[in-house]
């Protein structure tokens, strides 16, 4: 026993050093593994951030396009009401074109990523950005809810208004005869022509200017599309804030 104690006493520095080396090696391996995991997470985060930037820039462009469409509709509706108030300034062809322009249905349909459902949102280290992305769907829904209300008005009133007023053939003829491409079309270089010809029993300008249905619909165009644009402006600020946070995290 005494001999064993002497032997251990002689070797304990060597055993201690060996133990330190083993523990140190384990800790170094863990540190290197964590460092490698962090590097991988950083690369994944950068990839996600760049994809998000591309998506939200596209969302911003689409939102601005829909806002512009609504502004055009609002301007056309104001012009129709002006003609009704000042019929001496009215022109039948101009009025028909204005009516055709207030029958549009701008809808915002943004790119939706799967960050939340996939769990990859945890890779984003900016708390503010994660919070804004988590709230994005709710923010968009508030605008889309207004758009759904407008769609119902357009369907219930606008879709049949041209037929009810007796001008459907006339304004579709004006729309297509010189070539037309809907603003929603992906290819804006197309100019499609269709030969419809105007009605042989045209409705008079006075009858159109005295239509309560047209007057009420024009007023709805202004109200609902302005409400949608107010929400759209708020949503635009959300996108700008998201893009600002993304830019702060992207390594150039």
What does the pLDDT look like over 168-203, one tens digit per residue?
A: 888 888 888 877 766 666 666 777 777 888 889 899
| Residue 41 in domain | no
Q: For residue range 33-86, what is the model confidence (pLDDT) as tens digits?
A: 554 555 666 788 888 889 999 999 999 999 999 999 999 999 999 999 999 999
**176 domain-assigned:** no
Report how many domains make up the chain: 1
Quote the domain boundaries for residue 154.
48-167+203-249
pLDDT band per the 50, 70, 90 thresholds, residue 18: low
Residue 89 clears pLDDT 70, i.e. is over it: yes
Decide: residue 218, CB within 10 A, 0-12 exposed, 13-18 middle, 19+ buried: buried
> For residue range 141-177, what is the model confidence (pLDDT) as tens digits?
999 999 999 999 999 998 899 889 999 888 888 888 8
The per-residue b/e assignment along 19-39, b for 16 or more CB within 10 angstroms, e otherwise, is eeeeeeeeeeeeeeeeeeeee
Alpha carbons 29 and 16: distance in angstroms, whole number: 20
Q: Is residue 195 assigned to a domain?
A: no
Q: b vs e for 98-136, b when ≥16 Cβ sit within 10 Å of the residue's Cβ?
A: bbbbbbbebbbebeebebeeeeebebbeeeebbebbeeb
Asked if residue 213 belongs to a domain, the reply is: yes
**211 — pLDDT class (breaks 50, 70, 90):** very high
Report the predicted TM-score, pTM, of the whole model to 2 decimal places: 0.80
Does position 1 have pLDDT exceeding 90, yes or no?
no
Please report whether residue 81 resides in a domain: yes
Whether 83 maps to a domain, the answer reads yes
- Residue 90 in any domain: the answer is yes
More confident residue, 20 or 116: 116
pLDDT for residue 87 is more than 70 = yes
Q: What is the pLDDT of residue 115?
A: 74
Residue 163 in any domain: the answer is yes
Question: What residues contact 225, with CB distance under 8 A and at least 6 apart?
Answer: 70, 73, 74, 106, 150
């Amino acid at each position: 026993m005494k001999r064993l104690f002497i032997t251990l006493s002689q070797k304990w520095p060597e055993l201690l050093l060996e133990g330190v080396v083993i523990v140190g090696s384990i800790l170094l391996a863990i540190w290197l593994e964590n460092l490698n995991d962090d590097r991988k997470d950083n690369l994944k985060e950068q990839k996600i951030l760049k994809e998000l930037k591309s998506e939200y820039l596209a969302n911003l462009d689409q939102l601005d396009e829909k806002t512009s469409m609504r502004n055009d509709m609002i301007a056309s509706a104001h012009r129709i009401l002006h003609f009704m108030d000042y019929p001496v300034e009215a022109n039948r062809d101009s009025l028909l074109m204005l009516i055709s322009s207030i029958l549009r249905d701008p809808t915002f349909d943004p790119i939706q990523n799967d960050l939340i459902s996939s769990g990859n949102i945890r890779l984003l280290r900016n708390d503010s950005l994660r919070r804004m992305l988590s709230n994005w769907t709710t923010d968009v829904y508030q605008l889309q809810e207004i758009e759904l209300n407008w769609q119902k008005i357009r369907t219930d009133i606008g879709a049949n208004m041209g037929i009810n007023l007796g001008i459907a053939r006339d304004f579709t003829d004006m729309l297509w005869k010189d070539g037309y491409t809907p603003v929603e079309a992906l290819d804006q270089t197309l100019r499609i022509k269709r030969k419809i010809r105007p009605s042989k029993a045209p409705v008079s300008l006075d009858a159109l200017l005295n239509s309560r249905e047209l007057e009420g619909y024009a007023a709805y165009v202004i109200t609902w599309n302005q409400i949608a644009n107010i929400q759209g402006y708020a949503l635009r600020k959300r996108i700008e804030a998201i893009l600002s946070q993304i830019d702060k995290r992207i390594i150039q």
